Amino acid sequence: MSSGVQADEDVPKTIFLVTEPGRVIAANADTGQFFELEMHAKETVEHSEVAGAVAVLITNQRFAAIGAFPGGWRSIRRQADEDLVSAEAAGYSALVVTSDRILSFSGRNGSWSFRSK
């Protein structure tokens, strides 16, 4: 019986990150595209997760993610005094849990969803 959920091992690794001072470059091996995320003033990378066809980047100012969906990085602002609890990436999806919210990212359609805790 199939659950309809694609396991992480079934999703080939297609997203790769290169972190340099002031920017992060995502490479999509499937499409051959490169997408640059420029850091804002005083923005620093705190954490990142990459798996399968999705990557999520946590900075001190925002949550940014990229996936199989063409079009590049999608960002959502961090709230004041919002602390990171955990971050996870698997297959085409990413999940970020903070002190205030639960955020999910779909690498298939490039959209963020969230709710308050």
CB neighbours (10 Å) of residue 10?
A: 9
The parent domain of residue 25 ranges over 12-116
Does 85 map to a domain? yes
Counted domains in the chain: 1
Beta-carbon contacts of residue 67 (< 8 Å; ≥ 6 apart): 15, 53, 54, 55, 92, 94, 105, 106, 107, 108, 110
Per-residue pLDDT of the chain (117 residues; tens, 9 = 90+): 334 444 555 899 999 999 999 999 999 999 999 999 999 999 999 999 999 999 999 999 999 999 988 789 999 999 999 999 999 999 999 999 999 999 999 999 999 999 999
Does 4 map to a domain? no
What does pTM read for this prediction?
A: 0.89
**What's the pLDDT score for residue 77?**
98
Does 2 map to a domain? no
Does 1 map to a domain? no
**What's the pLDDT score for residue 4?**
44
**What's the pLDDT score for residue 95?**
98
